[in-house]
Structure 1
Amino acid sequence: MTSRPSSQSGYTVILIDNAMLPPPPPPSNWPKCYPIVYHNIEADFTNEDFKKKLRRSYFLFKFYFVTLLANSIADIAISITYLSGAQIVSQIIASALYLFLMPIGDFFLRHMSLYYGYKMNSEMMFRYYFLGEAIVIIFGLFIGIGFVNDGSSGTLGAVKLFERGYYVAGVFTGIFLVLDVVQTILHIILTAQVCPFVFRGGVNDSC
């Protein structure tokens, strides 16, 4: 920005050099149906290792949604087996809220924390990321074993269902359990890869 005196006294002409201004923030592009945040792994990062881990993290966000969807279907199948009409409707509403809130929390707390941790080299963002991973892993273990809702869709619930001959609900529960085990293992692996200093004895400035 420069200024020069005007030919008329008392006035100053200000010239603004646009090249000196910071670039405007990129437009929001996620989710595509209603963009509220900017998210572009390929454009924001040149480090291939960062890209690889962020792609895996984003894949796990989508896999987490599929796992939660399977859990909701299993819960609804169990509700149809055990409960009355009003209780089934209540379970469907609860499952819909569950599917809406949990993936959003995973995306913003866990995945985007890793995204900005790499982008800004922010120790605080990495802490939020590890907090998000801890929540996902611990929750996955609890719901997989069946401590949540008295074992409704976990291993404990699946055993009860097959013992009582409710095979349809048992199969849906089994599908959820497979997905839950896989996603929990993948989250543990990614967490170990993000911070080798902690998990493998390597060196990582962000840890």
Structure 2
Amino acid sequence: MSYNENPFASSHSLDTNPFDDPTNNQPPADAARLEELRQREADLERRERELAQKSEHIRQHGRNNWPPFYPIIFHSIQDEIPQASQPLITRLYQLWLVLVGTLIVNMVACICILASGAANGGSDLGSSIGYVIFITPLSFLLWYRPIYNGYMKEQALYYYLYFFFGGWHLLFSVYMIIGIPSTGSAGLIQTINAYSKPSLPAAIVGTVATVGWVVQGAGLGFYYRQIWAHHNAAGHSVEKAKTELAAHGAKAYFTRG
């Protein structure tokens, strides 16, 4: 040992400053998870800002615009639905319009069936008028509006409402396609009977009604599966739906909150 050496000096140099903050040796997987959470938070904040801006626009320029002849609610796919989901909701709205048109054609077909002298023509006509009066608004309120709200607010409650009432509507569509006499449906059986008489007006209009029932039923069944897949991917649950119902209540059905 040399007398010129510092006896308190370490023979090993420090690679790092002991007074520095400890380094973050976080695993890459955790870092990726944190980045994903940050991105999701940023996306939620962006959507909240967009909804707030649209809500203010609606407050200033008026809210209710649908139905056009007597506005009672605000309905705007372009303004309220995220851009990626707009094509889907547009197709569902178009299918709802097909349903309304089919109900009207079905009623006209039942008028023709009654005029052709069918034994159960009166029952068919009465039921078909009831379908136009009740199915038109109920289908909008019970399955179209819930899925519209579901994609607008991304809340589980609306998806479950859609699956329940949309499922019943699919069964109703099958029932109407069959066309059992005296049920108010100018479906297959009624149309075949009209061709066999023959009663061409009832047969032709019945064919149009049957095609309408098939188109709207098949289309809704196709999108029902797509929405189910989206619902599962989004991680919705019954517990989440209960929490949303407790937090927002029924008033959230028509509002943006």
Give TM-score, length-normalised by structure 2: 0.62
Partner of 1:33: 69
Relative to structure 1, the CA distance from residue 188 to residue 71 in structure 2 (aligned partners, 3 Å threshold; closer, same or farther) is same
Q: Cα RMSD over matched residues? A: 2.7
Q: Secondary structure at 2:208's aligned position in 1? A: helix
The one-letter amino acid of 1:30's match is W
Indicate whether 1:179 and 2:209 are aligned. Answer: no
Partner of 1:66: 101
Q: Secondary structure at 2:182's aligned position in 1? A: helix
Partner of 1:4: none
Q: Report the Cα distance in structure 2 between the residues aligned to 1:94 and 1:180, rounded to whole angstroms.
A: 16
1:43 alignment partner, one of 43, 55, 79: 79
Q: Report the Cα distance in structure 2 between the residues aligned to 1:148 and 1:122, rounded to whole angstroms.
A: 41
The one-letter amino acid of 2:70's match is Y
Indicate whether 1:137 and 2:167 are aligned. Answer: no
Give 1:73 shift: 1.0
Partner of 1:112: 145
Q: Report the Cα distance in structure 1 between the residues aligned to 2:75 and 2:124, rounded to whole angstroms.
A: 33
Q: Report the Cα distance in structure 1 between the residues aligned to 2:181 and 2:220, rounded to whole angstroms.
A: 20
Q: Report the Cα distance in structure 1 between the residues aligned to 2:187 and 2:101, rounded to whole angstroms.
A: 16
Relative to structure 1, the CA distance from residue 101 to residue 120 in structure 2 (aligned partners, 3 Å threshold; closer, same or farther) is same
Partner of 1:162: 195
Partner of 2:223: 190
Q: Report the Cα distance in structure 1 between the residues aligned to 2:129 and 2:116, rounded to whole angstroms.
A: 19
Point out where structure 1 has 5 or more consecutive residues left out of the alignment. Answer: 1-21
Give 1:186 shift: 0.4
Give TM-score, length-normalised by structure 1: 0.75
Q: Report the Cα distance in structure 2 between the residues aligned to 1:65 and 1:151, rounded to whole angstroms.
A: 15
Relative to structure 1, the CA distance from residue 91 to residue 148 in structure 2 (aligned partners, 3 Å threshold; closer, same or farther) is closer
The one-letter amino acid of 1:57's match is L
Instruction: Please say which of residues 144-153 and 160-169 is displaced more in the overlay.
Output: 144-153
Relative to structure 1, the CA distance from residue 141 to residue 55 in structure 2 (aligned partners, 3 Å threshold; closer, same or farther) is same
Point out where structure 2 has 5 or more consecutive residues left out of the alignment. Answer: 1-54, 238-257
Instruction: Please say which of residues 156-165 and 168-177 is displaced more in the overlay.
Output: 156-165
The one-letter amino acid of 1:139's match is F
